[in-house]
Chain A
């Protein structure tokens, strides 16, 4: 096992922790935190592949990928938290199981 595989294993474990968090918790903010953990795991992969890429490839592609990914993650977190506040105003709590008003 070389160092790149160790990096990929760490990011896989981080992704699965985020997945379990997002699937098992019923608090909306904790689901958001799980999704952010998964996004961070993906960014770790980008940087790991960029770090160990052979010489001669595009010099900063992984870095630019991660920069755009961080920007999109910031926008996503802002929209999600606005949704949390709107949900709290409508049903006075933020449990996901009770957000069933549009259910047919």
Chain B
């Protein structure tokens, strides 16, 4: 169990680091797909099968395709400029800030006494009880999320559609 956790953690962190440092945007997006798959494997390891499948469907299936479409749509066709490297000061300060945040978080995690029972098997939740909880106590939240998704996707279509009055540049 610890070996599989170590493998999953290595997959998640290595693909994230590689994706954050690649120059080519397509490589970053494809490595992020590996990262999301690693997160789905973590959910499977933890016993949350339904969340793992939702993660695989939403992230690996849908969001990666949307990101790839955006990369291809906003790519310069002829004069392919290399991605401009951010200024050195900004990168250095971002890395220092990230390391500081990680230091604070790691100290906080390691100094906190967390009582767990390690012998407990994966607390698998059945699909039936999950559905009953979603339709029972959390029904209002399900409806609100549905409204949120509808509104945000309609807003995305409105934002991305070209101007009808011809004021914008030609697509």
CB–CB A33/B32 < 8 A? yes
CB–CB A82/B13 < 8 A? no
CB–CB A84/B70 < 8 A? yes
Known contacts A60-B133, A75-B149: does B159 contact A82 (CB below 8 Å)?
Answer: yes
Q: How many residues of A contact B (CB 8 A)?
A: 74
User: Interface residue tally of chain B, by bracket?
Assistant: 35 or more
**CB-defined interface of A44-83 with B at 8 Å, one 1/0 digit per residue?**
1001101111110001101110111011111111110111
B102 to chain A, nearest CB (A): 4
**Cβ of A67: which chain B residues have Cβ within 8 Å of it?**
50-51, 54, 134
CB–CB A95/B84 < 8 A? yes
CB–CB B32/A24 < 8 A? no
**Cβ of B114: which chain A residues have Cβ within 8 Å of it?**
2, 4-5, 52
Per the bound structure, the CA–CA distance linking A17 and B86 in Å amounts to 17
CB–CB B145/A17 < 8 A? no
CB–CB B17/A17 < 8 A? yes
A59 to chain B, nearest CB (A): 6
CB–CB B12/A10 < 8 A? yes
A-B contact pairs, 25 of them (CB 8 A): A2-B116, A4-B116, A9-B106, A12-B105, A14-B12, A16-B101, A17-B20, A17-B98, A20-B94, A21-B20, A23-B90, A25-B20, A36-B32, A36-B59, A36-B63, A60-B129, A68-B141, A70-B51, A71-B58, A76-B152, A78-B66, A78-B156, A81-B69, A82-B157, A90-B168
User: B residues engaging A (CB < 8 A)?
Assistant: 2, 5, 9, 12-13, 16-17, 19-20, 25, 28-29, 32, 35-36, 39, 42-43, 46-48, 50-51, 54-55, 58-59, 62-63, 66-67, 69-71, 73-74, 76, 81, 83-84, 86, 90-91, 93-95, 97-99, 101-102, 105-106, 109-110, 114-118, 120, 122-123, 125, 129-130, 133-134, 138, 141, 145, 148-149, 152-153, 155-157, 159-160, 162, 168-169, 171
User: A residues engaging B (CB < 8 A)?
Assistant: 1-10, 12-21, 23-27, 29-30, 32-34, 36-37, 40, 43-44, 47-48, 50-55, 59-60, 62-64, 66-68, 70-79, 81-86, 88-90, 92-95
